[in-house]
Amino acid sequence: MECPFCGKIKNDVIDSRLTKERTAIRRRRKCSDCAGRFTTYESTPEHFLFLLMKQHTPKSSSMKSPKVALAFISKTLQGLSGGIEKLGVKVDKPEPARKTKKPKKKTIAKPKRKKRAPVRKKIVVPRPKKVTATEEVLQIIKRHKRGINITKLKNKTGFADSKLRMIVSRVYKQGKIKRKARGVYVSA
């Protein structure tokens, strides 16, 4: 399963359970590389048939009744066969050949264009690349060779304490920084 955040395939299943309708399996997954969490739903063709029956049969009839299931399947197949027959008739009908006529050339006098002033080219100034919060924190940590603590990081970035701790925790798990002492971080 591909991670929607980083695109890596390596991930772990955290939780697995049936949905409320019991038509699919809901799996909660965690990416091993970026620690992102996402949900996947897995279903089988039998569940797909059950969902179709649930949508297209009256609510009063029992879903587990084999008569209802067979009636639904035969009705669906009859509809499909009718559609296939219509397509077969269209394919069997030959299309009449179309005669192509060459258009007559007409000479029309073109109006003279007025001369315009030359257009100035717009000078495009490259915009500075947007830096993510994680990159900003990493740059600050790399600048401090002896290490920097959370309070100094908070003053320099202006981020909330919880946001800053989450970023530091994630970057530490990725191995981009090391702990020099309690609450002091150095670039790896």
Q: What is the pLDDT along the chain (188 residues), one digit of tens a residue?
A: 788 888 888 899 999 888 887 777 889 999 998 989 999 888 776 666 666 666 666 665 666 677 777 777 777 777 777 777 777 777 777 666 666 666 666 667 667 777 776 777 777 777 777 788 999 999 999 999 889 999 999 999 999 999 999 999 999 999 999 999 888 999 88
Task: Reduce the DSSP state of residue 152 to 3 states and report it.
Answer: helix
DSSP-assigned beta bridge partners for residue 151: none
State the pLDDT at residue 56.
64
Query: Model-level pTM?
Result: 0.34
Task: Provide the sign of the torsion angle of the four alpha carbons 144, 149, 150, 155, taken in this order.
Answer: negative
State the pLDDT at residue 171.
93
Q: How far apart are CA 164 and CA 170, in angstroms?
A: 10
Q: How far apart are CA 114 and CA 7, in angstroms?
A: 55
Residue type, 117: A
The candidate with the shortest Cα–Cα distance to 150, out of 139, 133, 163, is 163
H, E, C per residue of 69-131: HHHHHHHHHHHHHHHHHHHHHHHHCCCCCCCCCCCCCCCCCCCCCCCCCCCCCCCCCCCCCCC
State the pLDDT at residue 58.
64
State the pLDDT at residue 92.
72
State the pLDDT at residue 104.
67
